[in-house]
Amino acid sequence: MLEGATISGLKRDDRPARFATGIAMSVANRADFGRQPTAGRHELHHSELFTDAALIDLLDHMPRAQVHALTMGSDLTRPQDNRLALHDGVSGADMLRAVRGGRLWLNITRVDRADARYRRLVDQMYGELAAVVGGFAPDSSQATLLVSSPHALVYYHVDGPATVLWHLRGHKRVWVYPALDERYATREALEGIFAGVQHEYLPFDPSFDAGAAVFDLEPGQWLAWAQNAPHRVSNLDSLNVSLSTEHFTPDSRRRARVYAANRYLRVRWGLANLSARESGAGAMMKAVVHRLARLAGVDPAQTKRHVATLRVDPDAPHGVTPLDPQTTPARALA
Which of 159, 188 has the CB closer to Fe ion?
Answer: 159
Tell me the C-alpha distance between 228 and 295, whole Å. Answer: 27
Please, what is the minimum distance in Å from the beta carbon of residue 230 to Fe ion? Answer: 9
Tell me the window of 2-10, 156-164, 177-185, 281-289 that interacts with Fe ion (CB under 5 A): 156-164
Please, what is the minimum distance in Å from the beta carbon of residue 201 to Fe ion? Answer: 10
Task: Examine residue 13 and tell whether it contacts Fe ion (CB under 5 A).
Answer: no
Tell me the window of 90-98, 151-159, 210-218, 310-318 that interacts with Fe ion (CB under 5 A): 151-159
Which of 120, 149 has the CB closer to Fe ion?
Answer: 149
State the residue number with the nearest CB to Fe ion: 159
Please, what is the minimum distance in Å from the beta carbon of residue 233 to Fe ion? Answer: 8
Tell me the C-alpha distance between 61 and 7, whole Å. Answer: 8
β-strand partners of 11: 6
Which of 226, 323 has the CB closer to Fe ion?
Answer: 226
Count of residues that interact with Fe ion, criterion CB under 5 A: 1
Q: For the chain, how big is the Rg over CA atoms in Å?
A: 20
Please, what is the minimum distance in Å from the beta carbon of residue 74 to Fe ion? Answer: 19
Planar angle of CA 238, 242, 244, nearest 5 degrees? 150
The DSSP code for 263 is: H
Q: Which of 32, 52, 57, 159 binds Fe ion (CB under 5 A)?
A: 159
- Work out the burial of residue 18: count CB atoms within 10 Å of its CB; fewer than 13 is exposed, 13-18 middle, 19 or more buried: exposed
Distances (CA, A) of 45 to 19, 61, 170: 11, 22, 10
Which residues of this protein are in contact with Fe ion, per CB under 5 A?
Answer: 159
